[in-house]
Amino acid sequence: MKKQDFPLILAPMAGVTDVGFRAVCSSFGADATVTEMLSVRAMAYNPKKTEFMTLTTPEEKFKIAQIFGHEEEYFKRAVTNEMLSKFDSFDINMGCPAPKIIKNGEGAALMDKPSLASKIIESVKSATNKPVSVKFRKGNKQENFLDFGRMCQDAGADFVTFHARTVEQGYSGKADYEAIATLKAKLSIPVIGNGDVTDEKSLAEMKKTGVDGVMIGRGALGRPWLFSELKNLPQKMTHFEAIERHISLLREHFEEGWLKLYIRKHLLWYAKDLPLASAVRQKIAMCEDIDDALAILKAFFV
């Protein structure tokens, strides 16, 4: 990633950061975007499913593929897979708190196995000359983020992203900005802060930790224009045009039957801050047709 004053990055979110959403966030100023989690094992055995998750657009400025698993050899194979050749960087997920991921010894479960985690980072670094980062939490069974961060640095990670919550917290409670500041002070590689940045006030609080950039996830749900607002940039399209762009990009690649079920959650997020939001969301939830749902939204956005 090119040196920026303070880059804003769209976080990886399973079932959310599809190719259309990443493109729209990029158009509104996101400096980098991250794919949904890509299983390194699935990449070897079910490449078609992974291929849809690796679609990209010219709007994306710096494209990061986030990979997860627990086997060194599959990580090495993944980053050398032609499917990921278009990405500018690789991020290793060592922070996902989902029970099924933890059960498989992946995501944040790797925080309890620093030796294995180190070998995975080293294997990825040995297989690519592109930047490699690691995303992790405060801890799984115990808070060990400082030692884990040092391990990532020693293993060769070019930067880390720190979501300052424990696995037990999930996405509840407040992110621990003091922990972020502590980690930043102890590492020499860049630290990206993640957690609770939803407006200018929370961004200012995050900046006080000294981090080198911020990753934004849930704050952007239904608000891809948040990046423009935080950077005080002119918006290249209206909010409704952004919604239309999101859907049109997905329609280029996915069948309508699947898309009308998938896109509903995004449409509900887009409606969450509208006047009479509850009534609008109820109407959208009952729509069987994407264009009918768009017509409902248009009346409020235009």
| DSSP per-residue codes, 185-225 | HH-SS-EEEES---SHHHHHHHHTTT-SEEEE-GGGTT-TT
User: One of 25, 96, 152, 287 is an active-site residue; which one?
Assistant: 96
- Cβ burial of 127 (10 Å; 0-12, 13-18, 19+) is middle
Count Cβ atoms below 10 Å from residue 182 Cβ, excluding itself.
Answer: 17
- Cα 115 to Cα 118: distance, rounded to the nearest angstrom: 5
Asked about 96 being catalytic, the answer comes back as: yes
**Is 188:194 a contact under the CB 8 Å cutoff?**
no
Q: How many CB atoms lie within 10 A of CB 158?
A: 17
Which residues participate in catalysis according to the annotation?
96
